[in-house]
Amino acid sequence: MAELNSTPERSGNKNRSKKPALRVDRTAMVDLAFLLITFFMLTTSLTKPKAMNIAMPVGGEPAGAAESRTMTICLGKDNKAIYYLGIADKPAIAPAITNYSRSGLRHAILETRRHVLQSTGKSMIVIIKPSDKAVYGNLVNTIDELNITGVQQYAIADIVPKDVSLLKKMQAF
């Protein structure tokens, strides 16, 4: 317990009677402080991580995906990506290289989606294939662009050697 000592003041030559030292008990104040700390710790909610649900294809390529409406995005190094419509051997839209800006990947997704809707009348399916040289942030940016453009069907798959050779050919691997 703490004590508060005060010395008697002298005025002139008179000695005043000594008053007992003032004693303040601070136990209640310490108890109250710990109760408040405990209360705020228990009532405060910690930030919860935000996560998106992603359906991963079993065994590589999604089964039953029509080539005429499947866009493949291969993620490469230095914030570059290539995209094409169809399969790598015979693409309906030739492979092109882009970046992750609004006029890059977002524009490519919107243009390809419009082309698929006009030619097939159905929605577009996107397959994202990150390479060994791609960084995690590029994958997140790609999924964000798909959400912004309203693509409902997309999957993340392992990259195949044909796509790696495409990335090397366009100097993005």
The CB-side HSE value for 165 (13 A sphere, CA atoms) comes to 5
The CB-side HSE value for 119 (13 A sphere, CA atoms) comes to 16
- pLDDT reported for residue 4: 57
Under a CB-based contact definition with an 8 Å cutoff, are residues 21 and 6 in contact?
yes
**Predicted TM-score of the model (pTM):** 0.65
Under a CB-based contact definition with an 8 Å cutoff, are residues 142 and 105 in contact?
yes
Q: Report the topology of domain 67-169.
A: Nucleotidyltransferase; domain 5 (3.30.420)
Whether 149 shows a pLDDT value over 70: the answer reads yes
- Residue identified by tokens 């993005």 is 172
> What are the structural domain ranges in the chain?
67-169
- pLDDT reported for residue 7: 57
Under a CB-based contact definition with an 8 Å cutoff, are residues 133 and 140 in contact?
no
- pLDDT reported for residue 62: 47
Mean pLDDT of the chain: 83
Query: What is the length of the chain?
Result: 173
- pLDDT reported for residue 83: 93
Whether 64 shows a pLDDT value over 60: the answer reads no
Q: How confident is the model at residue 152 (pLDDT cuts 50, 70, 90)?
A: confident
Under a CB-based contact definition with an 8 Å cutoff, are residues 155 and 57 in contact?
yes
Under a CB-based contact definition with an 8 Å cutoff, are residues 138 and 155 in contact?
no
- Residue identified by tokens 């998106």 is 52
